[in-house]
Structure 1
Amino acid sequence: MAGVRSKHTTPELAVRKLAHKLGYRFRLHRRDLPGSPDLVFPKHRVVVQVNGCFWHGHDGCRHAATPSSNVEFWRKKIDANRARDARTTTELTGMGWTVLIVWGCEIRDEVALVSRLRAAMPS
């Protein structure tokens, strides 16, 4: 697990490239915000979290299957990640931020991702 990156992942880079192409300007991993969100759009008060399906337990996704070995460890780990994500989202919304969660499996559908980004940004 030491080799698993938490910043600048392939799905995150894809979202950043798309957001930039759409003309949105953002900051990366602002440590003054809860959870250090992947992308922060200060002008729009929107944060984007790019979550890996396996690590964050994406419901109904084939990439989120629990490994068959050491099941209890993985279940606890993923449940803790989900609880932390929920806590962070609650804190950010309480501070007036809109939180958009983008899953790793959603990156392939660029059209849907564009519409989700545009819908999250106030006019």
Structure 2
Amino acid sequence: MSGAGESVLLRTAGRAAHITLNRPKALNALDHGMVRRIGEALTAWEHDPAVETVVITGAGERGLCAGGDIRAIHDDARDGDGSASAAFWRDEYRLNARIARYPKPYVAVMDGIVMGGGVGV
């Protein structure tokens, strides 16, 4: 299992791999690092015969995911040239498409708030 201070926790239990979005104070909003980490985990599990299904949940009691981290996008627009936001959106949309085509059952526990990119994951 990943460390408790990380924004995406990964673990396996039996034949299931588990992803936990771990930013409960931010309603588990996705940042670019989270998108990349989920993609890396899906790559590792895709051809792992010990993993038969993937389950994604959100930490805390309020919901799975509020979507993209709008604060980070705002900061990039204010202080940067927008390229970080463009890279995030590109990779986030690619992740959504990948999840839709994933060859193993993928279960999203959408309990509570689920908006924007949260629907994609």
Please classify the TM superposition score into its range, dividing by the shorter chain length.
0.3 to 0.5
Q: So what's the TM-score if we normalise by structure 2?
A: 0.39
Q: So what's the TM-score if we normalise by structure 1?
A: 0.38
Which protein, 1 or 2, shows the higher relative CO under an 8 Å CA cutoff with sep ≥ 6?
A: 2
